[in-house]
Amino acid sequence: MMASNRKVVPECHKALDQMKYEIAAELGLPVGYNKSTFGNVEFATELGNVPASSIQEDYWGHIASRDAGAVGGAITSRLVKQAEQVLFGLQ
């Protein structure tokens, strides 16, 4: 059976994208994001010390696979932590 990227909750796309770019900024990765969705470049540049000139709109082609994997792993960790808090009432 092949894996699919089909979302169980299709409305989560925007939230996952925002989380992806927040984590990339925290890791200092110079990736762009959709300014209309996430505000201005200041967040990514301030949090990740990324020069604004290096931000490209929604482009990840220059990011190493290891770094992209780190973003995916961090997303998974945060989602698991959030689910545990909801399930076990640890809020």
**Structural domain that includes position 42:** 11-88
Q: Which amino acid is at 38?
A: F
| Burial environment of residue 25 by CB neighbours within 10 A (0 to 12, 13 to 18, 19 or more) | buried
Residue 2 belongs to a domain: no
| pLDDT tens readout for residues 60-91 | 888 899 999 999 999 999 999 999 998 888 65
| pLDDT tens readout for residues 18-61 | 899 899 989 988 886 544 444 455 555 565 545 555 555 577 88
| Burial environment of residue 88 by CB neighbours within 10 A (0 to 12, 13 to 18, 19 or more) | exposed
Residue written as token pair 């201005």: 40
Residue 27 belongs to a domain: yes
Give the count of domains, the chain. Answer: 1
